Amino acid sequence: MPTGLAVLGFGVMGSALVSGTLRASLIEPRDILIVDPDPSARARAERLGCRVAADPSYCVGVERIALAVKPQSFPEVAQSLGQLSAPTLVISVMAGVSMTRIAEALSPSVRTVRCMPNVAAQTGLAATVFACSTACTSEDRDFALRLLGALGIAVELPEHLFDAATAVSGSGPAYLFLLAEAMIESAVRLGLDQPTAERLVRQTLLGASTMLARSGTSPADHRAAVTSRGGTTSAALAVLDAHGFRPMINDALRAARDRGVDLAAAAAAHAPQGTGSTGVA
The pTM assigned to this predicted structure is 0.86
Distance CA 117, CA 166 (A): 9
Q: Is residue 130 packed enough to be buried (19+ CB in 10 Å), middle (13-18) or exposed (0-12)? A: buried
pLDDT at 272: 53
78 and 105 Cβ atoms separated by less than 8 Å: yes
What CATH superfamily classification does 5-161 receive?
NAD(P)-binding Rossmann-like Domain (3.40.50.720)
Distance CA 43, CA 220 (A): 48
Q: Class of the 170-263 domain?
A: mainly alpha
pLDDT at 83: 81
Distance CA 16, CA 31 (A): 17
Count the Cβ atoms, other than its own, within 10 Å of residue 195: 8
Identical topology for domains 5-161 and 170-263: no
pLDDT at 122: 87
Listing from the earlier edge strand, what are the strands of the sheet with 126-132? 51-53, 32-35, 5-8, 64-67, 89-92, 111-116, 126-132, 152-156
30 and 49 Cβ atoms separated by less than 8 Å: yes
What residue ranges do the domains of the chain occupy? 5-161, 170-263
Distance CA 234, CA 174 (A): 26
Amino acid (1-letter code) at residue 51: R
Show the DSSP H helices in 127-274 as ranges: 138-149, 162-165, 172-189, 194-214, 219-225, 232-242, 245-269
Q: Each residue's pLDDT tens digit in the chain (281 positions)?
A: 444 899 999 999 999 999 988 988 889 999 999 999 999 999 999 999 999 999 988 887 888 999 999 988 899 999 888 888 768 899 999 988 999 999 999 988 899 999 999 999 988 999 999 999 999 999 999 999 999 999 999 999 999 999 999 999 999 999 999 999 999 999 999 999 999 999 999 999 999 999 999 998 999 999 999 999 999 999 999 999 999 999 999 999 999 999 989 888 887 776 655 443 322 22
